[in-house]
Amino acid sequence: MKTIVTTLVLGATLAVPLSASAQVSAQGTLTNFSYSLVDLLPNDGIAPSLSIVKPLYPAQLGIRAIGDISETGLRQNRESSEDNSRLLYSRDLDAGISLAQGTAVSTVSGTNFQTLALSTAASTKNGAGYERRVVASNYVMIEEFVLSPGTEVRFFADVRGSVAKALPSTNTLKESSELSASMSFPEFSANGYPDFVSEFSMRAPSWSADPNAPYSESASERLSIMFQNTAKTSWKLKVELTLWSEANSLDTSPVASPVPEPATYGMLLAGLALVAGVARRKRPA
């Protein structure tokens, strides 16, 4: 059951600085991994077990941390950072970017399944005439579980996160942030069985009943997936983990062209007069 705490900050003391910075953010963690076993055939003489055997040659890129910041509008740019490895637990992964447009941080750490920890954080601030998107994400594919015959296994993990945004009083800034996490058996999740996939998501919407009020929400949930090996032989299991944080800011206010000062007009007229004088001298008699 998801536990949610939602806060609409209406006090002037908090509303003013948040509206001034107009920061939108999302962050979360996926930790406390564990599992439990149930003997489905207690009389078969086989004790339930889950062996953890690291594959020598992983079939695919098994672990990835990504940070990405993109900006469109008056100008366009994009910067990204990625750290990846095929060997799980071989080293900690860290992908991070910090720019004027925003910050993205993604980390994966742990020396075994029980100590595995995923973390993401994304934030951005508005800018006149810009659309900004910041994403921090990580992905882990674990190919190391061997389940004994006649055994049920249930995996657990705790996800915690928060989303926030701060709309200015002009109501021309459209902000949204999102956090999502999932744990699944990738080879079976496509079949649609609920026990094979466990998902979590929360979002700070782009609309608000009070455009002058900041919005923040925090939540936590225990993810759980289950698989039953009813075969007479051991079963190799894969577990896929994802964690995603995204922050978006779109400014729809018109960008006014700068109005020249009177001195600027004077310099322009003087320059034109100078050019005209030079041209008159060079004119042939």
Strand order in the sheet with 151-165: 3-8, 215-229, 151-165, 23-39, 117-125, 102-109, 93-99
180, 183, 184, 185: CA torsion to nearest 10: 150
Residue-level pLDDT at 200 = 97
Structure tokens at 41: 């055939």
Helical spans, DSSP H, in the chain? 12-21, 262-281
State the DSSP H helix or E strand holding residue 70, giving kind and residue range, or none if neither.
Answer: strand 63-73
Residues in the chain: 285
Q: How many CA atoms lie within 13 A of 120 on its CB side?
A: 31
Whether residue 120 contacts residue 160, with contact meaning beta carbons closer than 8 Å, is answered with: no
How does pLDDT run along the chain (285 residues), one tens digit per residue? 444 333 323 222 222 232 334 589 999 999 999 999 999 999 888 899 999 887 666 666 678 999 999 999 877 899 999 999 888 888 899 999 999 889 999 999 999 999 999 999 999 988 778 899 999 999 999 988 999 999 999 999 999 999 998 765 456 778 889 999 999 998 887 666 778 999 999 998 776 666 667 788 999 999 999 999 988 899 999 999 999 999 998 877 655 544 455 555 556 556 656 555 555 555 555
Q: How far apart are CA 268 and CA 275, in angstroms?
A: 11
Residue with tokens 């007479």: 232
Residue-level pLDDT at 110 = 93
Whether residue 234 contacts residue 166, with contact meaning beta carbons closer than 8 Å, is answered with: no
Structure tokens at 4: 């949610």
